[in-house]
Amino acid sequence: MRRAAYIIALLGAGLWYLTFGQWLAWIFLLGLLSLPLLSLALSMKAILDFQLAPMGPERVAVGEKAELMLMGSCGSPMPPFKGKIRLRNLRTGEKIAYREELGFTPVHCGGYEVTVEKGRVMDYLGLFSFPVRKKQSARILVAPIPIPAEDLPRLLTQPPVRWKASPCRLGENYELRPYRPGDSLNSVHWKLSAKTGKLTVRETMEPLRQKACLTLTLGGTPEQVDDRLGRLLWIGRELLYAGMEPVILVSSGEGTARFRVSDEKSLSQAVDAMLCLPEPVEPVPPEPEGTGWHYAIGGSES
């Protein structure tokens, strides 16, 4: 549009000069001819420094609409620019063209890379167009919805495998042992020591839970992956509530990924990382590690 307007103005000034031959028309024509070069010279710094990046929410829920936009930045007055937003499913590699009037409404959980395609920056008059050299990308995470596993709670009522010494001085469970150099005198059982004639220490004990290993694969249909990750969230929280710190093994296109979970924050971080992993060639869960309790999400328990 701007180029068409400039060409029309240039033709009009040329016709004016050819028709009347006035010096004012000549000056006006020369001014129009020099405008593109002047605009390009004034815009060059902004064009060289210009950066283009997609902007939008970092996290959305399944079924929630996300609105994205392109944001330009530079140290000079902002020149005109344009471009398209493209999304890529990091698990499947599927590319999705973003349409501003529709937005982006995910129907499955996953990680999506948001990139800029066909980015162009123009001079201030909009007569010259150049490809954007500095483009940034972003990510959108669509978290799974926790899905209860009906057969899991009975497994979490098992007693601890054994007990271990606790750094805490106070506790309901303790064992008696002979005094060792370095033990605190506050831990000495004075009544029993007086009866036996030997210093006896009351050592606080805490349960040492059995190890838990969760395995799953990111292969399969989107519905299957939604179900596995949703069950993983629920099972992981139940294990944490039971005092366990599970190890999660995930089969992906980059091999077997291992995550050690110690609290809900690390569990959420592990699931976020899984959302961005590519799917494996074969949808087979990895082999569990250790000899503790194992649960194959989407498979069987042992």
pLDDT for the residue numbered 291: 58
Q: What is the pLDDT of residues 251-260, one digit of tens each?
A: 999 999 999 9
In angstroms, the CA 188 to CA 194 distance is 11
- At 72, the pLDDT band (50, 70, 90 cuts) reads very high
The model carries a pTM of 0.74
Which helix (H) or strand (E) segment holds residue 264: the answer is helix 264-275
Phi, psi values for residue 111, rounded to 5°: -110, 135
CB burial of residue 16 (10 Å; 0-12, 13-18, 19+): middle
Q: Which amino acid is at 217?
A: T
Q: Which of 139, 147, 141 is nearest to 106 (CA)?
A: 141
**What stretches of 144-259 show up as alpha helix (H) in DSSP?**
190-196, 222-241
Q: What average pLDDT does range 172-194 have in this prediction? A: 74
Q: In the predicted model, what is the mean pLDDT of residues 283-289? A: 84
Q: What is the mean pLDDT of the chain?
A: 83
More confident residue, 173 or 268: 268
What pLDDT does residue 243 have?
75
State the average pLDDT over residues 30-36.
75
Residue 62 has pLDDT above 80, yes or no: yes
Domain ranges of the chain: 50-143, 162-208, 210-296
**Full strand arrangement of the beta sheet holding 293-296:** 255-260, 247-252, 212-217, 293-296
Provide the 10 A C-beta neighbour count for residue 254: 11
For 144-161, how does the pLDDT look when each residue is reduced to its tens digit (9 = 90+)?
Answer: 999 987 765 455 545 455
The region of weakest confidence among 139-143, 242-246, 269-273, 289-293 is 289-293
- Quickly state the pLDDT bin for 247 (edges 50, 70, 90): very high
50-143 topology per CATH: Immunoglobulin-like (2.60.40)
pLDDT band at 301 (very low <50, low <70, confident <90, very high): very low
Q: Quick one: average pLDDT of 120-128?
A: 89
pLDDT score of 264: 92
Q: Which of 135, 134, 133, 128 is nearest to 42 (CA)?
A: 128
